[in-house]
Structure 1
Amino acid sequence: MDNRADARRFGRRAVLGGASAALLASAASGTATAEDAQSPNGPLSEIPIVLPRTELVYEAVFDLEPTMMLGQGPLGERRIVPIAGGVFAGPRLKGKVVPGGADRQLMRKDGAHMLNALYELQTDDGAVITVNNRVLIDKRLDGTPYAFSNIDITAPEGPHDWLNHLVFVGTLHSMAPQPKVLIRVYSLT
């Protein structure tokens, strides 16, 4: 099989060929070597690279209460930010942020911030969706800041059940000086 022709036919994806099958077989039997995996023309170079795409699920503006300082811990400063409410909307759902959630924060000693927000969203049709949003705020090697998150969403059975079958990531943007944040949630496809 001509891998170049298949790569053209399937875009940038290559196909798993005989050499990769041989590597997988040797890996299963314990005879694969580090050189097999690192060779630029070796078997692993034929495994498809499939980059994830994202699709907007919703964006939400959260109204926040004042930050409560919880004191220094072994890993850094601990804080909690109560969520007072807000709104959210996306292509397939919209509604309000239910008051009562909170964002637990750890300001690490190395300068990174780890956030863990647990909250509920109520859709316009009355469904209550639970969200656990874990955010890392840090700096790239070039010094520019970023804030990305890994999000778990649990929806009730019914019209929003599709949310239970996806992987979610997100972004976080401060709306300072207002006590608000903007969160955008995307599904990986």
Structure 2
Amino acid sequence: MPDLSRRKLLAGLPALAAVLSGPGRAAPAPDAPRSELVYEAVVDIGPMVTVGDSPLGVRRLVPITGGTFEGPGLRGTVLPGGADRQLVRKDGARQLDALYEMKTDDGVILTIHNKVLIDDPVGGRRYAFSTVEISAPEGKYGWLNRLVFVGTLQALMPARQAVSIRVYKIN
């Protein structure tokens, strides 16, 4: 019976890669992800409501009251009625969990679930990135159901009671 110990298997991986790639060729590397802008949304928000303390931090709720979005081949309005549930963690970082709908200019409703992590370290660069899930009906916008999206978030206050959200697909 062959010896299939973990050490022997791991030791054989470089040799296996060399055989698979052929003489004089390096083993193929996985593609590095690239991003491409899908849309930018300006999301209008209402007054923040503090919901209370929890063991993890302070909970807040921010109503989503409207807005607009636009990108290559995609544009429309942000519908009122969504909300951004926030947790201000004990370490100062903020976790945002926003759920809302957007209506394209041709009448299709998209559901957006945006989970954001914001950290403003003292003396450091602001970190505000998200993972975005988009749910669309099959058809013209069905491709939105089959990709991974990431985003950025920037407050537009005090000039406007809104945030700017840029959403990128990962290729």
TM-score by length of 1: 0.76
Aligned to 1:132: 113
Query: In 2, Cα distance between the equivalents of 1:141 and 1:150?
Result: 24
Give the one of 57, 78, 81 matched to 2:38. 57
Where in structure 2 are the equivalents of 1:145-156 lying within 5 Å?
A: 145-156=126-137
Helix, strand or coil for the counterpart of 1:51?
coil
Which structure 1 residue ranges, 4+ long, deviate > 3 Å from structure 2?
Answer: 139-142
Aligned to 1:102: 83
Deviations along 1:25-45, one digit per CA (max 9) or x if unpaired, are: x9xx55247x85xx9xxx6x9
Where in structure 2 are the equivalents of 1:30-179 lying within 5 Å?
A: 30-32=5-7, 46=27, 48-139=29-120, 143-177=124-158, 178-179=160-161
Superposition CA RMSD, Å: 2.8
Aligned to 1:20: none
Query: In 1, Cα distance between the equivalents of 2:122 and 2:50?
Result: 30
Aligned to 2:163: 181
Whichever residue aligns with residue 114 of structure 2, its letter is N
The offset of 1:111, in angstroms, is: 0.9
Residues 1:71 and 1:140: Cα distance change in structure 2 (over 3 Å): closer
Point out which structure has higher relative CO (alpha carbons under 8 A, 6+ apart).
Answer: 2
Larger strand percent: 2
Query: In 2, Cα distance between the equivalents of 1:108 and 1:161?
Result: 36
Query: In 2, Cα distance between the equivalents of 1:175 and 1:125?
Result: 27
TM-score by length of 2: 0.84
- Percent identical among aligned pairs is 53
